[in-house]
A = this chain, B = another copy of it.
Amino acid sequence: MSSNNGYHVAIVGATGAVGEHLIRTLEERDFPIRRLTFMASKRSSGKKMQFKGEEIPIVEAKGELFKNVDIAFFSAGGSVSKALAPEAVKHGTVVIDNTSAFRMEPNVPLVVPEVNEEDLKNHNGIIANPNCSTIQMVVSLEPIRKKYGLKRVLVSTYQAVSGAGNRAVDELYMQSKEIMEGKKPEANILPVKNDPKHYPIAFNAIPQIDVFQDNGFTFEEMKMINETRKIMHMPDLKVGATCVRIPVVRGHSESVYFEVEKPNVTPNQIRSVLAEAPGVILQDRPSEQIYPLPLDSVNRREVFVGRIRKDLDDEYGFHMWVVSDNLLKGAAWNSIQIAESLQKLNLI
């Protein structure tokens, strides 16, 4: 389709936390839209959502609706993507999928535009948007890798509740009230909706995000490991991850330890690289107590990096603190950036 008249864009999962931010971000950007279709589950069909002041009806997501759709953003869970994305592709739609359904498939590019925009050239209809915690980490690591090489990454995450959806956020607020009133908090959603046990997240920290794998890591941790390797084209990069949910609404934080390949690199050299890096804002002035905070990252599209310091024992080792809005760079904004890159590279 020509971009002259704009594209027919569909959003699948329009009513979810990420869906809402896809709509808001499309309103703020100049991406050319000829027509917009909002899809969701049967439950939401018939409702309406606003786009630039216009009311758009929500329709139940179905394969045949993708006829004439140029680009579809999927964010309605892995099973919906698995069922409908291949059907959309048959109709000629380019799918930008925010779930983990296709991320590790060899013929599906997994793209963070600041890192591997060129991978879009090999797409076969589906492009995967990486996991939120992976995206912000690779945005901060790639410029360092380019200049100084990268041998190893160990990350511990401090992840926001909105990553588990709007209902999880409601539950965080409800539990916070219950605990402050001396009541026993009720838990029905976190850590994993369909796992048997649920724990309160208010005034707590839960070291489980997504289901456990046989190796003792969670699926979220394995996403960070495998997706980082795929996006950075480093299949043998050493990556270890511990993923933890904390009572923050929006903004994932990460304590990242990494080792570079070149000797004698200084923290100031790392700072210089990050100060110039696309999509990164350096916030690193300890003497003025300047460092990234998740509360400050809300509604920002950038990745914030600070607390950069050299490890005291390993001469190739560094520590840093990386924060970004998980609903924007971690999801909606990265997806729309992919669409903008596709347009720029004449791939749609």
Q: Which residues of A contact B (CB under 8 A)?
A: 152, 154, 156, 158, 173, 176-177, 180, 191, 195-197, 199-200, 203-208, 212, 215-217, 225, 238-240, 242, 244, 246-249, 253, 255, 257, 267, 286-289, 291-295, 306-314, 317, 319, 321
Interface-centre pick from A154, A253, A306 (highest chain B CB count, 10 A): A154
Measured between C-beta atoms, what is the minimum distance from A115 to chain B in Å? 21
Report chain B residues within 8 Å CB of A288.
197
Partner of A156, one of B156, B199, B295, B311: B156
Cα(A313)–Cα(B242), bound, Å: 14
Measured between C-beta atoms, what is the minimum distance from A168 to chain B in Å? 13
Report chain B residues within 8 Å CB of A313.
152, 238-240
Are A199 and B247 within 8 A (Cβ)?
Answer: no
Partner of A321, one of B196, B204, B242: B242
Give this chain's copy count: 2
Report chain B residues within 8 Å CB of A195.
289
Measured between C-beta atoms, what is the minimum distance from A212 to chain B in Å? 4
In the complex, residue of chain B having the shortest beta-carbon distance to the beta carbon of A248 = B203
Report chain B residues within 8 Å CB of A294.
204-205
Are A289 and B196 within 8 A (Cβ)?
Answer: yes
In the complex, residue of chain B having the shortest beta-carbon distance to the beta carbon of A195 = B289
- Given the known interface contacts A249-B203, A309-B217, the answer about A158 and B291 at a Cβ–Cβ threshold of 8 Å is no
Measured between C-beta atoms, what is the minimum distance from A183 to chain B in Å? 14
Are B242 and A197 within 8 A (Cβ)?
Answer: no
